[in-house]
Every structure is written in C-alpha cells, then in structure tokens.
Structure 1
Amino acid sequence: MIIRPIAPGDLDALLQIAIESGPGFTSLMPDRDALSRKIDHSVDSFARAVTKSGDEHYLFVLEDSATGEIMGTTGIEAAAGVSRPLVHFRRNAVIHHPGDRHKRRTEESLTRCQYYTGCTEVCSLYLRPGFRRANAGKLLSRVRFLFMALHPERFADTVIAEMRGVSDPAGQSPFWDWLKHHVADLDFMSATQLACCGKSGFIERFIPSTPLYTRQMTEAASAVIGQVHEDTRPARHMLEREGFRHRGFVDLLDGGPTLECPRSEIASVRNTCLAEARLHAEKERPESEGGTACKSAIVANTGCSEFRATVTDQAWQIPETGSVMMSARLARHLDLGDGSSACCLPLNHGSRHAQVRQQPGHKPATEEIRYAY
C-alpha cells in the first residue's frame, strides 16, 4: 500500500469512491466535473510554494502496490471556511429567568454560527469495502498528521474534523427529517448537494439564524445530535486518541459532531520524527546493525508533490545514528535513496523509546477505520 497525492488519472476511481460512499459523505459528491476540478485544485496545491495556509486542498489516494488499484482517499483542507462559509450549529444551554427564582429552568438550543473559519480540516477519508485490511484505515487517517508535521507552514494552528452524522441505510437523517419541516422540504441528499456545492444563499435562506430548541424536536432527532454514523465510530475513537475533542459544534444537516485539536498537540504530529534513510539489499535486517524494529510504522519521504508513504514492519530505527534502515525495494516504492531524508511515525504511540533520535536543531514534528468523514 502506498499513499501518494492524487493525479488526474485517478478521476474514474475517485468518482467510484464518491458513488460508493453514499449520502452524507459530503466532501466527495458524485459529480464528475466537480471531482475533476477538485483533483486539479489538489495538484496545484501540492505544487505551490506556501508560507501560510490558504485555499489549498490536499487530496491523497491509497494505491495497491501490486495491482495499481485505488483503495481509498484521504484529504486535508488547509484553511476551511475561507473560499466559502463553514457554518455549524452551536449547542447552547439557555437559562430562563422567570420572576420566581425557584422556577428557573435550563434547556438546550442550537444556534447557527461560523466559528472555525480558517482552521485546517481533515476530510475525505474513505476506504473502499473490497480493500479493508489491517492498518489501511490507520494509514489513511494518520498520514495526514505526518504530512502536517513535515510541512507545518501549510496548515493552521487548529485542526478540525467534521464527523458524519447518523443516517439510516437509505441515507435518511433523523435530524434532517425533523429540521426539513421547519426550513426546507427537501430530501437529505438534495439538501446536502445544495449545501456542499455552495449554492448561493442556501444556508442563509433555509437555515434559521434564530435558535432552535431541542425540546421541540422529535425524540429521534434530538437523540442523534453530536452522534456519529455507525461506520464513523472507529474514526471518532481514533481522533479522540490523537487528542481531538468535541466542543459543542454540530453539522447543520445531520447533527454530526465537529472535533478539534491544536495542531501541535496532535499525538501523531508530536511523534513524527525525521531520520536518514539507510538501505540494505536483504529482505531481513542484518543482525549486525542493531536498532529497534518498527512493529508497525508509517514511513515516508519528506517531499510535497512527490510525497510517498506506507505502513510497514520492515523498517528499523537506529537511535545512535538518527537513521531508519529499510530494504532497497521498500525505498524504491517511497522514492528514497540511501542517505535521503525520511520520516517515521510508530503506530503505537506508547513506543516512545523506539523513536529515532532527533536531528541536530530539529524539534519533534510536532479499531480499524472503515470510512468516516
């Protein structure tokens, strides 16, 4: 498995992913022209010289090394809410103060807001059903944080993830089923397409700016506020282990939660370390070299438009020399030569003793997932 930036030749595979992912997977809609523009934007973003996050969108694909098939996608939006509004509901506790203090009561409301403008967003993670195997989902998810550690100037200080909310097998959202009777009598798919395609005035026209009180909702609608789709639960747990937390902001259409974390505090950002690639011809580690085997780690080159990464247990960290040893075959897949700059992220965060020694002057770059957000 190799992670690489998406290319124009991946359009057919990306369209198939958009179709397979179904309603609610809002970052990839099944529109061939829109997906083609998304690919072009990504290619341009990787090629830019960047000193500050802007409208860049980085889309990666996971490729089967043996067959060349595209297994899945994952992406990063450098500064969400800049080119078009990023709008959420904020959950609020409203205290009513009648004349009699003993009759004061608290109830919950949802208020439309734009809070996360300019934050970096991780998105577009999808692993195709036929390719769900050990570590594939972890690679798709955590490689984005490794990329942020390598290129911090390209991203904002706060990173968010909008999680897919609850919907049934037919793609209907209990939250939207209630909300549509008060705002716009559209089916969930139509509302999603209008919102995600940035149709002029859709949110301002149909989503009220005045508070919505949860006591007025159906039991089914209120129960899913801040909850995630069944297929998204492992992804949420993974992000929470990385340090992400829900701060009360939910999606306008399905009520799914948005999680956030300072970029410098994301565990995988902190645990990504630079190393020097050392190659050997044998498939197995030469016994004389010593070092610590990476039971499972993401290993990558340090490029941008030529970025390549994989997950492997065939790499050995040599703390004494600040290097990571790998086979010449693995290095070829990652476009690495002997002595090239590489980076390593152990999948087990607890294995700090196995990390590569930092280069002089270099600070640490600061349940299997199905598909998620």
Structure 2
Amino acid sequence: MIIRPIAHQDLPALHQMAIESGPGFTSLMDDIDYLGGKIQQSIDSFGTDVKTPGQQSYLFVLEDELTGDVMGISGIKAAAGLDSPLYHYHKSQLVHHSRELGIFKRIDVLNMCNHYTGCTEVCTLFLRPRFRRIHAGKLLSKVRFLFMAQHPERFANTVIAEMRGVSTKNGHSPFWNWLNEHFIDLDFAAVTELVGTGNNGFIAELMPKYPLYTQLLSKEARAVIGQVHEDTRPALHMLESEGFRHKGYVDLFDAGPTVEAEFSQISSVANSLQCQVQIINAGTPLLSRHKKAENPRELLAIANTHTSEFRATVTDQATYLPQHNLLQLPAKLAAALGLKNGASARCLRLSATVARTLPDAATVSGMAFNAAVSAH
C-alpha cells in the first residue's frame, strides 16, 4: 500500500467513493464537476509554496501497488471556514434557579457558532469496503499527521475533525428529521449535498438563530447528539488515541461530534521522527540486524519529506536505529517512496509484529518486496 497525493486520473475512483460513502458524508459528493474541482484544488495546494495556512486543501489516496486500485482517501483543510462559514452547535447548560421556590434546574441548550473558523481540519477519511484490511485505515488516518509534522507552517495550531453523525442507510437523520419538521423543508440528502458543495447560505437564512432547548427536541433527536455513525467509530477511536477530544461542538445537521487537539500535542506529530535513509542493497554493511526470526519486528509508518511528490506507507520491512537516527530500507521500498540513499524521511513507530527479519544484505536486492506489506 502506498499513499500519494490525488491526481486527475483518480476521478473515476473518487466518484465511486462518493457513491459508496452514502448520504451524510458531506466531503464527498456524487458530482463529477465538483469532485474534479476538489482534485485540482488539491494539486494546486501541494504545488504551492506556503508560509501560513490558507485555503489549501490536500487529498491523499491509498493505492494498491499490485493492482493500481484506489483503496481509500483522506484529506486535510489547512484553514477551515475561510471561503464559507463553518457552523456548529455548541452544547452547554443553562441554570434556572429560584431560591424562593427552592427550584434548581439545569437545561441543555444548543447555540449556533463559528468557533472553529481558521482551524486545520482533518477530513474525508474513507476506506472502501472491499479494501478494508489490516493497517489500511490506520495508514489513511496517520499519514495526514506525518505530512503535517513535516510541514507545520502549512497548518494551524488547533486541529479539528468533524465526525459523521447518526443516519440511516436510506439517508434519514433523527436529528435533522426534527429540524426538518419544524424549520426547514429539505430532506437530509438534499441538505448534505448543499453543504458538501459549499452552498450553505440557507443556514444563516433559515436555521433557528436562538438557542435550542434540547428538551423540546424529539426523543430520537436528543439521543443522537454527539454520537457517531456506526461506520465512523473506528475513525473516532483512532483520533482519540491521537489525543483528540470532544468539547461539546456538534454538526448542525446530524449532530455528530467535532473533536479537537492542539497541533503539537497530536501523538503522531509529537512522536514522529525525521531521520536519514540508508538503502540496503547487496553488499551494504548493516549497522544492526535482528538475529532471531522470532524477534518482533517494528511496524513503521514511513513518509518522504516532499510535498507534490509525497509518498508514504506502513511496513515491517524497515529498521530504525535510534542511536544513529538512521532508517534502513530495502531498495524496492525506498524506490516506491521516492527515497535515495542519504535522503531525509519521517517515520513513526506503530507497533511490533512477529514477522520476517530483515534479510541479509546479499539477498535483499533480489527479493520480491511488496510495498503493500504483503505480510498483512
């Protein structure tokens, strides 16, 4: 598996992912022209010299190198809400207290706000169902943080992720059903399409501007506030392991939670390392080598330090030597990542796996190395 920036050749696959993701996934819309525009914006963003975050939007695709299939996608918005308002509801409490009557009551309310305008947003994470295999989702999620760690000037201090809220396969949201009934005569699929394509002027025109007392909502609508779609739970768990937390902000339409973290405190940003590459060919002297096949092998996420030629993967066929800050890579893997001997790379330890040890240098050059990590 290799991660790379999206290209125009990926439009058919991107369109298919927009269909497969279904209603409620607002960052992928079933609209060829719109998707083509997103690809061009990403290409321009990767190719632009950036000093401070702006309207850049980066899309990464996960590719099966053996078949050429696009397996999934993930993205980053450098500064959300600059081109169109980024609205949320914030869930808080009002206290009604009468000392004379001895009544004290806390009431949950939802207030519309633009709290996250200008924050970096990690978004558009979708792994196609038929490609859901070990480490694929993890790579799609973490690759964004490797890129961000390498290019911090492109991103804001606060990073957010809007999580997909509860909705049915038929495109019904319990939260939106209540709003639809009382305020806006548009079904959930139509609303998400408008928002996904940037046409959100109706929010300021039609959405209720005063606090919503949650006790007035239907039981079904109240139950899903801050809850995620079943398919989104793995993505939420990965972000929580990175240090993201929910602080009461939810989506206007499906009430899914928005989670946030400080850039420097994101685990994969803080723990990733820039190191020097040593390519292992026949005759290359190794500074260190595992001697026993039963020893656990490190699972590493590895990325080059480029922008428009960015490449990344996850593998157990590389060795990081902390005492030398050196990353030893088989030649074919290095080539797939666009890395040369002595170049800089960024790596992140993921876990240990019981796998094959790095072969003797005399056998590396002839092995059939699979950059898609065929051991998994």
Q: 1:197 offset after TM fit, Å?
A: 2.2
Range 251-260 or range 93-102, more displaced: 93-102
Range 330-339 or range 317-326, more displaced: 317-326
Q: 1:84 offset after TM fit, Å?
A: 0.7
Normalising to structure 1: TM-score of the pair? 0.90
Identity across matched positions, percent = 55
Q: 1:200 offset after TM fit, Å?
A: 5.6
Q: Distance in 1 between matches of 2:54 and 2:274?
A: 26
Question: Which residue matches 1:289?
Answer: 288
Question: Which residue matches 2:161?
Answer: 161
Counterparts in 2 of 1:177 and 1:328: CA distance versus 1, 3 Å? same
Counterparts in 2 of 1:99 and 1:11: CA distance versus 1, 3 Å? same
The CA deviation string for residues 93-115 of structure 1, in whole angstroms up to 9 with x for no partner, is 01123463511311101111100
The aligned amino acid for 2:331 is: A
Q: Distance in 2 between matches of 1:151 and 1:287?
A: 31
Counterparts in 2 of 1:220 and 1:88: CA distance versus 1, 3 Å? same
- 8 Å CA contact 1:294–1:346 kept in 2: the answer is no
Q: Distance in 2 between matches of 1:75 and 1:13?
A: 15
Question: Which residue matches 2:18?
Answer: 18
Find the residue that maps to 1:97 and give its secondary structure.
strand
Q: 1:208 offset after TM fit, Å?
A: 1.1
Q: Pick the aligned partner of 1:313 from 302, 313, 316.
A: 316
Q: 1:157 offset after TM fit, Å?
A: 0.2
Q: Distance in 2 between matches of 1:64 and 1:206?
A: 45
Range 188-197 or range 238-247, more displaced: 188-197
Q: Distance in 2 between matches of 1:202 and 1:195?
A: 9
The correspondence of residues 88-107 of structure 1 with structure 2, limited to 5 A, is 88-98=88-98, 100=100, 102-107=102-107
The answer as to 2:113 corresponding to 1:118 is no
Question: Which residue matches 2:361?
Answer: none
Q: 1:293 offset after TM fit, Å?
A: 7.3
* Aligned positions, number: 347
- 8 Å CA contact 2:25–2:192 kept in 1: the answer is no
Counterparts in 2 of 1:44 and 1:288: CA distance versus 1, 3 Å? closer
Question: Which residue matches 1:362?
Answer: none
Q: Distance in 1 between matches of 2:29 and 2:200?
A: 18
The CA deviation string for residues 49-77 of structure 1, in whole angstroms up to 9 with x for no partner, is 00100000000100001011100000000
Q: Distance in 2 between matches of 1:200 and 1:132?
A: 33
- 8 Å CA contact 1:195–1:202 kept in 2: the answer is no
The CA deviation string for residues 277-320 of structure 1, in whole angstroms up to 9 with x for no partner, is 111136xx977633797521111111011000000000001122
The aligned amino acid for 2:337 is: L
The answer as to 2:222 corresponding to 1:244 is no
Q: Distance in 1 between matches of 2:274 and 2:211?
A: 49
Q: Distance in 2 between matches of 1:103 and 1:195?
A: 42
Q: 1:198 offset after TM fit, Å?
A: 2.6
Structure 1 runs of 4+ off > 6 angstroms?
none
Question: Which residue matches 2:347?
Answer: 344
Range 210-219 or range 248-257, more displaced: 210-219
Q: Distance in 2 between matches of 1:101 and 1:146?
A: 58
- 8 Å CA contact 1:293–1:317 kept in 2: the answer is no
Range 164-173 or range 16-25, more displaced: 164-173
- 8 Å CA contact 1:163–1:259 kept in 2: the answer is yes
Range 188-197 or range 255-264, more displaced: 188-197
Q: Distance in 2 between matches of 1:195 and 1:336?
A: 40
Question: Which residue matches 1:230?
Answer: 230
Counterparts in 2 of 1:98 and 1:29: CA distance versus 1, 3 Å? same
Q: CA RMSD in A?
A: 1.7
- 8 Å CA contact 1:297–1:346 kept in 2: the answer is yes
- 8 Å CA contact 2:94–2:108 kept in 1: the answer is yes
The aligned amino acid for 2:105 is: R
Q: Distance in 2 between matches of 1:324 and 1:47?
A: 27
